Structure 1
């Protein structure tokens, strides 16, 4: 069996460690590189030391060194870092699995442009369960298109820097598309004071930040006399790591193109 040669960005962080552990346990994957931020105390340390492995790949800041043997980079970092990695990977033919959130329109455009040169899976959430939930939300939105108000509630740990979460926004996009709406025009991200009656065409978002919550998402369809709630709750980041590896496997025979987890899981459109 040929091993997937994978590098991990943000190797010293919580998600990076989850990815490294998942790669170490996968019979068809090999960690060939580990990237960190220049100046970090993690630079020069062994990426898999926390697993008790010695002689493992060292965490480096230099992209040429960290990506020298990789066929795919898995990146769950910050937009500015991911875009820097993207430019290098596009130039050197290295596929990417991008789970980073918080991109602006220019960042998303850069990812689309890079997909003309390399194969990319870009998804705000790599969880298999979350992506199945997105499919259920599409079905629910079409069935409940009239007479139901839609609210999206998400909760994450205190360290998360963007809001609403990328997953919540993706849920909103899926629902808006199913209803023939533009999320940019119908989203409401905060309510305060005298807001007036709720506009039935809007999709509301509520954000909670606190503690060590990995990630909870609930979409509420509130009608007269009943409420339908579709929820997904993450108890560990391991599900994101396993999904990212599944995405890397999907890219193994792809040369170019932009894909998401719906493609990886063959959930259709």
Structure 2
């Protein structure tokens, strides 16, 4: 399978190339800002996008025009980006995720199950740490885990989210999901989801030791997506969860 990379010069670019080759596929090439996107899409069976939110609309439009599936691992997306993804998914297969790691995908499933089974007297807090160069917070993975917890609780994360606590904030709002972000060094990605109740805590943790895990998962997602019909998909569907 020929896999093209959008955002090839970024931190994930070389890791993706290595993962594509290791999995026995062909690296169709890559583009970055102001690159020849149409030419790359023309020679690719499926695209993987780890660029930036600013270029997502152009990538989706080009993939729809060519009828090519696309895996979107870009983080920092806003609500308007998700509307664009939903629109494109009517014509082509689109998989969007805040994290392509297979381990994180399993973690999200566990978080959803725990949130569903535990009552609201269990507070949910999500802590994430990344390298000093990361520009968005909370991380896409933290939000993915927050969405999993919210789904388990049957609530809307937008209406039940606490971020950036500072100063005299008052007591914790019951039922809300809290987020905390740390930045420093070269951390590829650490995530901890804590369920805290009276006198006990449950902690679910994932630590990424190398970006290769994201690249490996992205390649698995791309090869799976290329066999699907038009629609919007996620990593849990790749694993059959």
Q: TM-score, normalised by structure 1?
A: 0.87
- Aligned residue among 3, 6, 23 for 2:3: 6
Measured in 1, the distance between the counterparts of 2:187 and 2:135 equals: 14
Displacement of 1:82 in angstroms is 2.4
Larger radius of gyration: 1
Question: Could you say what secondary structure the match of 1:227 adopts?
Answer: strand
Structure 2 gaps of 5+ residues are none
The structure 1 segments of at least 4 consecutive aligned residues displaced by more than 3 Å after TM superposition are none
Is it true that 1:36 corresponds to 2:32 in the alignment?
A: yes
Partner of 1:69: 43
Partner of 1:169: 143
- Aligned residue among 15, 18, 37 for 1:18: 15
Per-residue deviation, residues 84-139 of structure 1 (Å, max 9, x unmatched): 11110111111101101111111101001101111111111000000000010011
Give the superposed CA RMSD.
1.1
Q: TM-score, normalised by structure 2?
A: 0.97
Per-residue deviation, residues 16-62 of structure 1 (Å, max 9, x unmatched): 110011112222x1111211223xxxxxxxxxxxxxxxxxxxxxx11
Corresponding residue pairs, total: 241
Retained in 1: the 8 A contact 2:132–2:186?
A: yes
Retained in 1: the 8 A contact 2:191–2:205?
A: yes
Question: Could you say what secondary structure the match of 1:250 adopts?
Answer: helix
Displacement of 1:254 in angstroms is 1.7
Measured in 1, the distance between the counterparts of 2:13 and 2:5 equals: 7
Partner of 2:121: 147
Question: Could you say what secondary structure the match of 2:12 adopts?
Answer: helix
Partner of 1:126: 100
Partner of 1:49: none
Q: Which has the higher contact order (CA 8 A, sep 6+)?
A: 2
Structure 1 gaps of 5+ residues are 39-60
Measured in 2, the distance between the counterparts of 1:185 and 1:235 equals: 33
